[in-house]
């Protein structure tokens, strides 16, 4: 969200009009190519008629959608927080993904104008409305959805409609993981028009995308482009971010935050949230289906209860040790770790399992799994189709609510190893109380690695260290050196073997030891 004082001269959104002119010129050129004679061109050609229809469509769309779009003004606490919506710490990066040099430019611009805004506030005895964004009416009884970072730290919130009416608003609830918040308008609520939401699963790459909002305090600016991509994940580098984004080349700027991205039918396909640099044609919107899930939960219960499984994972194609399976056509998600006391830890799910579907719906990527789990209600039992050691089975897991604080991941790491302890290059012993104290690990069932031979497979790949506790071999429990050696007899380095290992850091992840010397 970007702060702009009201005294700043308003600018003309030339970008929008120039793009319209370019589009019309291209269509007009098409008309010249299609029509063979100037006499025919004097009459209305089909190409020109098509251009006029497209022109009318955008005009009618803006007229129809704008009454559902609102301008959100806030009195923010410390103004410095406006520049914090980030990729660090809590996942907020207040300048909507702007590059460092542009971030500094906006900070200098803001600091230079803040004293004047404060002076005007003292003179007028009016609150210092030092932040602005956009929002969308989602219900006719006065509920508005916007970005969490638009109202983060807000002491007062005011909402203005297209017809000029203004309402005080309160934050009904927020969900910082998705960067969404819901506002509730106060006062006499009549004649409000709620936006229509599309099914974002059905959005197609290449279709028209129109953004409406208040960039740089230029209220109700309309820009258009296309859906550039779907399913963009890893946009926010934060472990709490669990959703993907719709990418668009519609011109989005600071101040568009919380406003709608709509299709040609005037249906909201996403809520604009971030940009990748200025004037790059790369913007990101939160998909409409997630917006509805979160906003409905907040409106009904004051908060969004987000379900989870309590696992870390990777797609088969993303995991180098499973690419051979991917080439054979196996699709799914590898369970890389399990959170202690999380939902999955209370089920039969194991590290190294490959989840191929949830309640019969096939999944191929980690993001697809997250999206599918998020669509379930907390406490719902779900069926996971799993591949384990080339066998297919069904594992039942009961979802729980995502805890506010991140939980440590379970101390188990699967790792493919060689057919014998000596070939692997490690020495293991029973985990006694004395060894647990010596290596500063918790007592548990398993064997402890007391040495790793230099130059061995375990040492070369840095996947096993002294003090690691091996609890499973190929997803079968081992509780003594004898059981470990027996389990290792039927495995080979060529195929690899999974070891579930508990490290000192109490984190369990999938590791694969495999002889790649060939």
pLDDT tens sequence across 175-200: 988 899 999 999 888 999 999 999 99
- Our answer to whether residue 179 is catalytic in this structure is yes
HSE-CB at 507 with a 13 A cutoff on CA atoms is 9
Task: Provide, rounded to the nearest whole percent, the portion of the chain with pLDDT above 90.
Answer: 36
HSE-CB at 154 with a 13 A cutoff on CA atoms is 30
For residue 383, list its beta bridge partners.
396
Per-residue confidence (pLDDT) for residue 111, from 0 to 100: 52
Per-residue confidence (pLDDT) for residue 80, from 0 to 100: 38
Per-residue confidence (pLDDT) for residue 499, from 0 to 100: 80
- Our answer to whether residue 257 is catalytic in this structure is yes
Phi and psi of 49, rounded to 5°?
-65, -35
Cα dihedral 269, 272, 275, 278, rounded to 10, equals 110
| Across 110-128, average pLDDT | 54
C-alpha closest to that of 191 among 161, 222, 221: 161
Residue 79 has pLDDT above 50, yes or no: no
Per-residue confidence (pLDDT) for residue 210, from 0 to 100: 95
Q: Which residues contact 345 (CB under 8 A, 6 or more apart)?
A: 310, 338, 339, 410
Catalytic residue among 66, 149, 228, 347: 149
Catalytic residue among 257, 345, 410, 503: 257
The bridge status of strand 381-388 relative to strand 131-139 is unpaired
| Across 479-491, average pLDDT | 82
248-292 confidence digits (pLDDT tens): 999 888 888 899 999 999 999 999 998 876 666 789 999 999 999
- Our answer to whether residue 149 is catalytic in this structure is yes
The DSSP call for residue 368 is H
Per-residue confidence (pLDDT) for residue 243, from 0 to 100: 81
Both tokens of 507, joined, read 């984190």
Under the banding of pLDDT at 50, 70 and 90, the label for residue 326 is: confident
Domains and CATH numbers, the chain: 1-304 (2.40.10.120), 307-401 (2.30.42.10), 421-513 (2.30.42.10)
By the 8 A CB rule, do 274 and 253 touch?
no
Catalytic residue among 45, 66, 175, 179: 179
Per-residue confidence (pLDDT) for residue 182, from 0 to 100: 97
């Amino acid at each position: 969200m970007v702060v702009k004082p009201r005294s700043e001269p308003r600018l003309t959104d030339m970008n929008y009009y120039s793009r319209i002119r370019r589009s019309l010129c291209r269509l007009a050129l098409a008309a010249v190519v299609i029509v063979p004679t100037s006499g025919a061109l004097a009459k209305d050609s089909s190409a020109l008629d098509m251009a006029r229809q497209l022109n009318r469509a955008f005009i009618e769309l803006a007229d129809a959608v704008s009454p559902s779009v609102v301008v959100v003004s806030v009195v923010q606490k410390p103004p410095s927080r406006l520049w914090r919506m980030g990729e660090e710490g809590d996942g907020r990066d207040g300048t909507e993904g702007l590059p460092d040099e542009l971030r500094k430019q906006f900070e200098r611009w803001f600091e230079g104008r803040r004293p004047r805004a404060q002076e005007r506030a003292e003179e007028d005895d009016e609150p210092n409305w030092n932040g602005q964004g956009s929002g969308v009416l989602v219900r006719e009884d006065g509920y508005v959805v916007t970005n969490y970072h638009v109202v983060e730290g807000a002491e007062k919130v005011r909402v203005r409609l297209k017809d000029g009416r203004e309402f005080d608003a309160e934050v009904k609830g927020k969900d910082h993981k998705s960067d969404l918040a819901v506002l509730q308008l106060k006062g006499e609520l009549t004649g409000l028009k709620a936006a229509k939401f599309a099914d974002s699963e059905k959005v197609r790459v290449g279709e028209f995308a129109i953004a409406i909002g208040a960039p740089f305090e230029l209220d109700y600016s309309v820009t258009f482009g296309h859906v550039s991509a779907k399913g963009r994940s890893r946009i926010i580098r934060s472990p709490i971010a669990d959703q993907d984004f719709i990418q668009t080349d519609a011109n989005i700027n600071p101040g568009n935050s919380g406003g709608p991205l709509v299709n040609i039918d005037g249906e909201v396909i996403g809520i604009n949230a971030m940009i990748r640099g200025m004037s790059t044609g790369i913007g990101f919107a939160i998909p409409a289906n997630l917006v509805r899930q979160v906003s409905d939960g907040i409106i009904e219960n004051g908060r969004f209860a987000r379900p989870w499984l309590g696992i870390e994972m990777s797609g088969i194609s993303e995991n180098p040790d499973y690419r051979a399976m991917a080439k054979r056509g196996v699709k799914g998600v590898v369970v890389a770790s399990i959170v202690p006391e999380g939902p999955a830890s209370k089920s039969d799910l194991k590290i190294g399992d490959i989840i191929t579907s949830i309640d019969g719906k096939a999944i191929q990527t980690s993001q697809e799994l997250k999206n599918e789990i998020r669509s379930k209600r907390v406490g719902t039992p779900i069926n996971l189709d799993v591949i384990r050691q080339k066998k297919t089975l069904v594992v039942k897991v009961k979802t729980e609510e995502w805890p506010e604080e991140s939980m440590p991941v379970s101390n188990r790491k699967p790792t493919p190893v060689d057919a014998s302890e000596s070939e692997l290059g490690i020495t293991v012993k029973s985990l006694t109380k004395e060894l647990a104290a010596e290596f500063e690990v918790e007592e548990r069932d398993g064997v402890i690695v007391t040495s790793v031979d230099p130059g061995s497979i375990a040492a070369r790949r840095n996947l096993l260290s002294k003090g690691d506790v091996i609890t499973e071999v190929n997803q079968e429990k081992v509780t003594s050196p004898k059981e470990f050696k027996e389990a290792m007899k039927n495995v080979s380095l060529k195929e690899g073997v999974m070891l579930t290992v508990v490290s000192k850091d109490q984190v369990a992840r999938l590791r694969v030891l495999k002889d790649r010397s060939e």
